[in-house]
Each structure stands twice: as structure tokens, then as C-alpha cells.
Amino acid sequence: MSAIVDVAYKEFRDGFRNRWMLAITCLFAVLALGIAYFGAVTAGRIGFTSFDATVASLTTLTALVIPLIGLLIAYDTIVGERDSGTLLLMLSYPLSRVELVAGKFLGHSAVLAVATIAGIGVAVALIQIMTPSARTAAAWVDIVRFVASASLLGASFVGMACVISICSRDKSRATGLALLTWFVAVLLFDLLLLAVLVVSGGNATERAVYPYLLLLNPVDVFRLVNLVGLGRGAGNDVFMAMTADHAYQPAILYGAIIAWATGPFVLALAIFRKQEV
């Protein structure tokens, strides 16, 4: 266990030295504040509207940003060590393959989680100070749910990046696979599901199955965890109507996002344990 902690701490420290954590923190703070005060500019208004609308808008942007960052900070987890010739050296130490991958996964996930919490925390603190009407228990529930689910979303894509890194022969191929994974998960998956519904006419059976197919994508699970909790009237009416919110139970959504946060990591461990270095 101590070896895992040591590797995780090294990766976390390296992430801080590379200014990933600072950059991500500033990005989230700027996004949160920008959405909170300029989200209604198309309606001719500037200023804070509501936490529900802010979280709904921030969820949409986070679903684009977090997966990309998670993949980019961890795509060279193993293949980078292999290319530099340090992988065999590291495994010659009293350090198992499981400990190496687990430490790197936890370290990168921690960088992303801390940056998310810090960035959102700065924005929330400013909103709370400047807008007394936002100081409600419901608002804090939305914030905690959003930060926790965003951290789990980041962990799921860090796990995918570990799988890509283990299966890739060189860093350039790992980079391409990481970008392809982001494109499929964030953009292509939903388009394909919608295309199937449109082409087939969307009969009753397909409409009943469609909401559960979204659980096959961690990005959609993240959206559902946050938007279903907000309900209608927060700027997400189209999404709610499309996904049939009555089909989801909180336990299903939370279980799904936890499964996505751990599943790719377990797969990475299984592959690396059987792989020849």
C-alpha cells in the first residue's frame, strides 16, 4: 500500500510542477464565473440568475473539458515510461505492476479532482459573497453533487487513458487513440443514438431502451446525474424530454458513474498484469 501512495504522490507532485493543476483550477474558476454572470447574455441580461441554471450550463461545458483533460494528463502513463526506457527499471524495484498502475491512476485522478474542487470552490465562494440569494441548502447540494460527479468523470477517463497507454506501442499512437476516444465519447456517441432514433422513427420500444443506452457513456451519465437532479426549468427541458427522466433512479445513476470511474482502471490492471514488458 505504501508503494501505491508513493507513486500516487509522485504523479500528483509532477502534475503540480507541470502546472496542470493550476491551469485546470483557473479554467474551472473562469468557466464557473463566466457562466454564472454571462450565461443569460443572449436574453439581454448580465448577472447571476440561479444556481440551477449555472449548474446546468456548467455541466454541459464540463462534459466537454474534463474527458479531454483526463485523457491528456494520463495517456503516456505506461507508454511514456516504456519509450524512455524507465519501465523495466521501475519494475526491477520492489514495486509490482498493480502498484505502479494503481499509483499512477490515483495520482492523476487526484490532480483532476483537486483542481475541480479548487476551481469550483473559488467561483462558488465569490458567487456566495456577491449574491446572498444563492446561499441555500439546495444550492450546496447541487454543488457537492456536481463536484463529486465531475471528479468521478475525470477518474473514468484517466482509467481509459491508462488502458490506451498500456495497449499502445508508442506515444504518438497513444495520443491519437486518446483524441479518438474523446471524440467518440463526447461527440459521436449521442449523435449515433439520435441518428438511429430518427432513421427508425423512434417506436415505443426504442424510446424505452434509449434512456438506458446513455448509461453506456460516462459523459452522458455525468450529465444525467446533474441534470436529472435539477429537474425541469433549469435550461435543460429539451434534454429531460429526450431522455425520459422518469426512467432513472438515483441509485442507478450513482452506481453507473462509480462503475465507470473504476471499470477502466480494473481493465488496465488486468491487461498490464498479462502483458510482456
**Torsion-angle region of 233 (φ positive above 0: left; ψ -120 to 50: alpha; else: beta):** left
Strand ranges, E, within 48-170? none
pLDDT at 56 over 50: yes
Predicted confidence (pLDDT) per residue in 2-34, tens digit: 888 888 888 888 877 777 677 777 877 787 777
Q: What is the mean pLDDT of residues 155-169?
A: 94
| Closest C-alpha to 148, from 113, 186, 121, 105 | 113
Amino acid residing at 118: A
pLDDT at 237 over 70: no
State residue 245's pLDDT score.
47
Helix-helix angle 171-182:51-74, to 10 degrees? 160
CB atoms closer than 10 angstroms to residue 44: 6
When the pLDDT of each residue in the chain is averaged and rounded to a whole number, the result is 81
Rounded CA-CA distance 39/56 in Å is: 10
Task: Give residue 49's pLDDT band: very low, low, confident or very high (50, 70, 90).
Answer: low
Rounded CA-CA distance 173/79 in Å is: 10
As given in the structure block, the three cell numbers for residue 17 are 510542477
State residue 105's pLDDT score.
95
Q: What is the mean pLDDT of residues 123-131?
A: 71
State residue 93's pLDDT score.
79
pTM to 2 decimal places: 0.88
State residue 40's pLDDT score.
53
As given in the structure block, the three cell numbers for residue 93 are 524495484
Q: What is the mean pLDDT of residues 93-102?
A: 87
